[in-house]
Structure 1
Amino acid sequence: MRVTITKKAEKKLRQGFPLVQKEDLVDSDFPTDWVIFQTQRKEEIARGYLGKQNKGVGWVLTQKKVELDESFFEAIFLKAKASRQSYFNRSDTTAFRILNGEGDSFGGLTIDWYAGYVVFSWYNETLYTHKDELVRAFQTAYPEVKGAYEKIRFASDLPESMPIYGERAPEPLLIKENGITYATYLNEGLMTGIFLDQREVRGKLASGFLKGKSILNMFSYTGAFSVAAAVGGAGETTSVDLANRSLELTKEQFQVNHLSSEEQHIYVMDTFEYFKYAKRKNLSYDCIVLDPPSFARNKKKVFTVAKNYGELIEQSLDILAPNGWLVASTNAANVSLEKFEKQIEQAIAKKGVKVRKQTSFALPSDFKTISKFPEGSYLKVLFYQRMD
Structure 2
Amino acid sequence: MKNQVSFKVKSKFINKYKNGYPLIDKSAILNIDTKMREGSIINLVDEKGQFIARGYYGKQNKGIGWVLTRKKQEDINLEFFKKKLIIALNKRTKFFQDPSTTAFRVFNGEGDGIGGLIIEYFDGYYVIHWYSKGVYKFRDEVINSLKKIVEFKGIYQKKRFSEDGKYIEQDDFIMGERAATPLIVKENGVNLAIYLNEGAMVGVFLDQREVRKRVRDQYSKNKSVLNTFSYTGVFSIFAALGGAKTTTSVDLANRSLPKTIEQFNINYIDAKTQEIIVEDVFKYFKYALRKELKFDFVILDPPSFATSKNFKFSAEKDYKNLLKQAILITEDNGTILASTNCSSFNMDKFKEFIHEAFKESCVEYKILEEHTLPPDFKTMEEFKEGNYLKVVFVRKMP
TM-score (norm 1): 0.97
Deviations 1:1-40 (A, max 9, x none): 1312222232111001011111222212153312222222
Residue aligning to 2:205: 195
| 1:2 and 2:5 aligned | yes
Cα separation, 1, equivalents of 2:330 and 2:138? 51
Residue aligning to 2:61: 54
Cα separation, 2, equivalents of 1:264 and 1:37? 56
Report the RMSD for the aligned CA atoms in angstroms. 1.3
Confirm or deny: 8 A CA contact 2:368 2:393 kept in the other structure. Answer: yes
1:55: Cα distance to partner? 3.4
Equivalent pairs, count: 387
- Give 3-state SS (helix, strand or coil) of 2:354's partner: helix
1:208: Cα distance to partner? 4.4
Residue aligning to 2:251: 241
Q: Which of 4, 13, 16 is the aligned partner of 2:20?
A: 16
Residue aligning to 2:45: 38
Confirm or deny: 8 A CA contact 1:208 1:233 kept in the other structure. Answer: no
Cα separation, 2, equivalents of 1:28 and 1:102? 22
Residue aligning to 2:156: 149
| 1:253 and 2:263 aligned | yes
Deviating above 3 A after TM superposition, structure 1's stretches of 4 or more consecutive aligned residues are none
- The equivalences for 1:102-121 within 5 A come to 102-121=110-129
- Give 3-state SS (helix, strand or coil) of 1:328's partner: strand
Residue aligning to 1:92: 100
Q: Which of 61, 75, 79 is the aligned partner of 1:71?
A: 79
Residue aligning to 1:370: 380
Aligned residue type for 2:81: F
- Unmatched 5+ stretches in structure 1: none
Aligned residue type for 1:159: I
Which stretch shifts more, 253-262 or 144-153? 144-153
Residue aligning to 1:167: 177
Confirm or deny: 8 A CA contact 2:5 2:41 kept in the other structure. Answer: no
| 1:178 and 2:182 aligned | no
1:130: Cα distance to partner? 2.1
Confirm or deny: 8 A CA contact 1:2 1:38 kept in the other structure. Answer: no
Q: Which of 110, 117, 126 is the aligned partner of 2:134?
A: 126
- Give 3-state SS (helix, strand or coil) of 2:248's partner: strand
- Give 3-state SS (helix, strand or coil) of 2:115's partner: coil
Confirm or deny: 8 A CA contact 1:357 1:384 kept in the other structure. Answer: yes
Deviations 1:170-217 (A, max 9, x none): 110101001000101011111111000000110001214321111100
Residue aligning to 2:345: 335
Q: Which of 326, 344, 350 is the aligned partner of 2:360?
A: 350
1:349: Cα distance to partner? 0.7
Residue aligning to 2:231: 221
Cα separation, 2, equivalents of 1:308 and 1:45? 40
Confirm or deny: 8 A CA contact 2:219 2:297 kept in the other structure. Answer: no
| 1:271 and 2:271 aligned | no
Which stretch shifts more, 52-61 or 221-230? 52-61
Deviations 1:103-159 (A, max 9, x none): 0011111010011111111111011122112211121122x1111111111124873
- Give 3-state SS (helix, strand or coil) of 1:51's partner: strand
Residue aligning to 1:280: 290
- Give 3-state SS (helix, strand or coil) of 2:172's partner: strand
Cα separation, 2, equivalents of 1:341 and 1:107? 28
Cα separation, 2, equivalents of 1:111 and 1:69? 19
- Give 3-state SS (helix, strand or coil) of 2:173's partner: strand
Cα separation, 2, equivalents of 1:363 and 1:208? 19
Cα separation, 1, equivalents of 2:63 and 2:96? 33
Cα separation, 2, equivalents of 1:132 and 1:20? 23
Cα separation, 1, equivalents of 2:43 and 2:359? 52
Cα separation, 2, equivalents of 1:145 and 1:12? 39
1:168: Cα distance to partner? 1.0
- Give 3-state SS (helix, strand or coil) of 2:75's partner: coil
1:294: Cα distance to partner? 0.4
Cα separation, 2, equivalents of 1:354 and 1:167? 55
Aligned residue type for 1:336: N
Confirm or deny: 8 A CA contact 2:53 2:70 kept in the other structure. Answer: yes
Residue aligning to 1:81: 89
Cα separation, 2, equivalents of 1:34 and 1:77? 20
Aligned residue type for 1:22: K
Confirm or deny: 8 A CA contact 2:184 2:191 kept in the other structure. Answer: yes
- Unmatched 5+ stretches in structure 2: none
- Give 3-state SS (helix, strand or coil) of 2:147's partner: helix
| 1:26 and 2:30 aligned | yes
Cα separation, 1, equivalents of 2:30 and 2:298? 50
